[in-house]
Amino acid sequence: MFRQHKILCENKETVLYLFLYDQQIDLETMKIIFTQISSQKLESRILDYLERRTIKYQGTHVRIVYRETIIRDLYLAHYRQPHTDITNVINLY
């Protein structure tokens, strides 16, 4: 579902941007599709993506992007990063 990701700091908040694969679907149709998907189902897909790519994201804010446009902006309700001994963490404070 997601092609790539980017983690940015915006207004002292860590935000995960997930970019969708380009499809032969216009932007408005894609927006409608993603408003129809429940937050729980979308959250499950996001967590699966993070797990498969072994991404250690400690924030909860996620924005889904299609063709340079944010089509869904949400906060993960059930995401808790397990505590591990990570050595390459950068604090943004």
CB 18 within 8 A of CB 46: yes
CB 16 within 8 A of CB 57: yes
- CA pair distance 4, 85, nearest whole angstrom: 25
- CA pair distance 45, 47, nearest whole angstrom: 6
Confidence of residue 65 (pLDDT cuts 50, 70, 90): very high
pTM, rounded to two decimals = 0.78
pLDDT in tens, 45-63: 998 998 899 888 888 899 9
Confidence of residue 19 (pLDDT cuts 50, 70, 90): very high
Q: Look up residue 19 and give its two tokens.
A: 């970019």
Helix (H, G, I), strand (E, B) or coil at 30: helix
